[in-house]
Structure 1
């Protein structure tokens, strides 16, 4: 695979494994976000999401010639898989830049798209705090497949090469019983040798392994550093977890005491994505799905600093729409990140963390006042309209966050000019590409407000691309289009 040094695990012959039923995969997808009337629900609040696992998992389905289940698709994770040209913030004290722009919706000329983009401060390599990492490796029998344990070993071996002399790695395994197979070390050779010795077999005592990993992380805790457990598994916790709420409570308690949790998902057939995504959310870590050695390099090599080194925690976004300028709106994605309006100012409410250099993009589809919307006119809308004055602002965007060592949140706020609704044109450049990814996600989710927007139209909207990952996206759109319309061939 280009850009990835081969390892013994990567070059090993495929393991003999019995076919696994394809209907055991578990997802916790929510319904597509509903339309909101600004007159009655002007405020939208959600926690940021920097996970990308849904995109890689969708790619796995398509590369195997299948459309993904609708519940496996999270549009925000597809959009956030890619990087966009947002301005770089100046310092860690003000760790974000905030970008807003408006365009005509490609699939509905009556509506507009509002894009809100964040870019985190890039942490120089020599300014990174030391890391105390515990690799928690699932070596149960269900991991006995070429796209599971061998790929997991390749991924973690790659991460070992990115560590500095101040960083420590321990390895814990679980399969029926849990055990420590590598004491904390900074030596990549010892890490890779320990990984290479791992073999799959047995049942999965996930909770027991997680408890031991947290104990090891606690014993080697680095004050002011990164303390994180990284669990690699197919998510098939079939032994040892009798109460999901107890598991979540344990993860949240460890999170609050400074040890976060990242999940790395592997494999197919019995993949429990619902578990993987949820426990990473509760652990203030990240969820990624690894479907290839190239994706392993991207997640655990190229993006390691973003994944591990937090620049802000409990990051929330709130958008208030002005009814004089906007009548209806919907947020594309973030269904499982929705917060109550009162949660925004409540510093006790947990939200997503953002790492060094991370980006977050949210796209709203909105109906300008007076334009035809998805919901017909209400009887008393005209009475409410009498109180409206001239609209200088269409929306007010607020971002609330805490610095990594802080307990009190800080606020960034800015208005979005109403004039952008009148001057909006078709999206171009990065905005066009992000809109194409959003359209692809919503189409795969079965969103009935996409007006039949086709794969050909999505590819045209995205435009020609030069980078590998964006070129791959165009191929995935083409594959999905052929699967939905087999008469087209391909």
Structure 2
């Protein structure tokens, strides 16, 4: 397995950290890079681009850490979309959405709760609470079909008139000898606002965890930019860990964040080292917005989407508090065929960059889409819990030109629908001028039909997996459901409460704590125990919701 790992750092002029380089480096024949027109105005000077690309020695020096950065008022931006409505099956029987394996929202909420605050409701994406945990769904038998659906239907614990359908898949786990080579560019923001213990120092420690996973067949390079860009560390074998970590230790924070310029350079480097048989990915690590150069979400999104079509993907890691642009993170990660995660602790860095490295880096399926068609003979109303920012039109499901989420090796994806049986009282009022053709409830009828579309990496045509949702998928009570199903529902319930949803008002934190303790199951890394502690903290901050 070989990783070509390039670390690109956004740095202020005069505070850039660079190691010396040999002007006769073997890559000195690289031709001038032409910047994408979107970022051309902000690209480094051509001569500096040539020197950077050739690995020439730059007259830049490491600077001591500046005085603590004066953090401005909190300007964080979050987006969880508009809460999904309840649909009548007779009018809208089909629900379509893109898969999501991001977990940033859960980590952001954890940071708020740890700091003694309830998170803003707009920061809570319920599907990311659910998908922050691993589930023991059945593994597919071979890579020819990278996952198979697992379905369970249980009574809703917060509504005695509805049921929950839990749909889960677990990706095929790549064997170590099947892991492809990787060309990875880490684009690290070390602007002035990163001068905080939970930002640049945590970022550096996180990168060291990744370095510890590399071996002699892996390659690491470090690149920095300020007003201009330059190479800090030429491609270095992954087993030269001391050399790599020393380069990381010398980074310091200061100045503004010319992120657009950094992205252009990162993509230039990724394309120069492009591996047509491997994985080519940029990882942007930042605490907030780009404040120099192209700053709007739309230009960035368009740029990232174009580069995705060329085979270079992008993931985003968020650090720190105060100016986190979660909205931008979500947008460019979704359009870059990547994941968005938020690193609030070293344990979270270990989960994302070590425990789940292969699942985050190596997609086994791309453009993963779910579609459920409900049967009016069994279901009268439904709502999809979460995935507000991932909703697709029905016609998008079969359109292979429409981008959707990816799933990595061994990753799980979980979705929850709340449904009302036909003939039962639901959320919606009866219509005065309803259709004259009424549908009788059929207890033996299929509740719905699940379709999943995905593409194998590098392929343009999607494949289809289908499975009926039947009464046989029901369990008699919430307590009788599997630990995984109950825990996923409890995670969703927690998200419902923190997002101030009207659907789960009857839930109490004391009940959630008791049930979560009972549903922890085999908790190898203590993730579910940590969830219980967050429930306790939220209960302390919301005493009216305790019992």
Same fold flag (TM > 0.5): yes
Given the alignment, which residue of 461, 465, 485 partners 2:543? 485
CA distance in 2, matches of 1:235, 1:288: 13
Q: Deviation of residue 380 (structure 1)?
A: 4.5
| Corresponding pairs, count | 476
1:325 aligns with 2:378: yes
1:247 aligns with 2:305: no
1:228: which partner in 2?
A: 281
CA distance in 1, matches of 2:423, 2:231: 64
Q: Secondary structure of the equivalent of 1:29?
A: coil
2:49: which partner in 1?
A: none
Inter-CA distance 210–90: structure 2 relative to 1 (3 Å threshold): same
Cα pair 2:151 2:473 within 8 Å, conserved: no
Cα pair 2:66 2:254 within 8 Å, conserved: no
Inter-CA distance 15–462: structure 2 relative to 1 (3 Å threshold): farther
1:414: which partner in 2?
A: 467
1:445 aligns with 2:496: no
Scaled by the length of structure 1, the TM-score of the pair is 0.92
Inter-CA distance 161–393: structure 2 relative to 1 (3 Å threshold): same
1:374 aligns with 2:432: no
Q: Deviation of residue 385 (structure 1)?
A: 1.6
Residues 143-179 of structure 1 show CA distances to partners (whole Å, capped at 9, x for unaligned) of: 1111101111111111122224443333333445443
Q: Secondary structure of the equivalent of 1:265?
A: strand
Q: Secondary structure of the equivalent of 2:447?
A: strand
CA distance in 1, matches of 2:279, 2:294: 27
CA distance in 1, matches of 2:136, 2:272: 41
Residues 33-71 of structure 1 show CA distances to partners (whole Å, capped at 9, x for unaligned) of: 111111111111000001111111110000000000011
Q: Secondary structure of the equivalent of 2:437?
A: helix
Inter-CA distance 355–444: structure 2 relative to 1 (3 Å threshold): same
CA distance in 1, matches of 2:414, 2:487: 12
Inter-CA distance 282–128: structure 2 relative to 1 (3 Å threshold): same
Q: Deviation of residue 274 (structure 1)?
A: 1.1
Scaled by the length of structure 2, the TM-score of the pair is 0.83
Structure 1 stretch displaced more, 375-384 or 335-344: 375-384
Cα pair 1:134 1:169 within 8 Å, conserved: no
1:218: which partner in 2?
A: 271
2:528: which partner in 1?
A: 470
CA distance in 2, matches of 1:79, 1:164: 34
Inter-CA distance 185–103: structure 2 relative to 1 (3 Å threshold): same
Q: Secondary structure of the equivalent of 1:88?
A: coil
Cα pair 1:122 1:357 within 8 Å, conserved: yes
Cα pair 1:177 1:209 within 8 Å, conserved: no
1:49: which partner in 2?
A: 100
How do residues 203-214 of structure 1 correspond to structure 2 at under 5 angstroms? Answer: 203-214=256-267
CA distance in 2, matches of 1:82, 1:251: 28
2:455: which partner in 1?
A: 402
CA distance in 1, matches of 2:66, 2:198: 10
CA distance in 1, matches of 2:71, 2:286: 16
Cα pair 1:139 1:174 within 8 Å, conserved: no
Given the alignment, which residue of 363, 378, 383 partners 2:416? 363
How do residues 263-302 of structure 1 correspond to structure 2 at under 5 angstroms? Answer: 263-302=316-355
CA distance in 2, matches of 1:282, 1:487: 38
Q: Deviation of residue 382 (structure 1)?
A: 6.3
Cα pair 1:175 1:201 within 8 Å, conserved: no
1:194 aligns with 2:252: no
Which is higher, the Rg of structure 1 or of structure 2?
Answer: 2
Given the alignment, which residue of 211, 231, 234 partners 1:183? 234
1:7: which partner in 2?
A: none
Given the alignment, which residue of 128, 146, 153 partners 2:197? 146
Q: State the Cα RMSD in Å.
A: 2.1
Q: Deviation of residue 289 (structure 1)?
A: 0.5
CA distance in 2, matches of 1:375, 1:368: 13
Cα pair 1:325 1:418 within 8 Å, conserved: no
Inter-CA distance 287–106: structure 2 relative to 1 (3 Å threshold): same
CA distance in 2, matches of 1:487, 1:361: 27
Residues 171-226 of structure 1 show CA distances to partners (whole Å, capped at 9, x for unaligned) of: 33344544332333333423322211111011100000010011111111111101
Cα pair 1:32 1:445 within 8 Å, conserved: no
Residues 254-283 of structure 1 show CA distances to partners (whole Å, capped at 9, x for unaligned) of: 111111111110000111111112111111
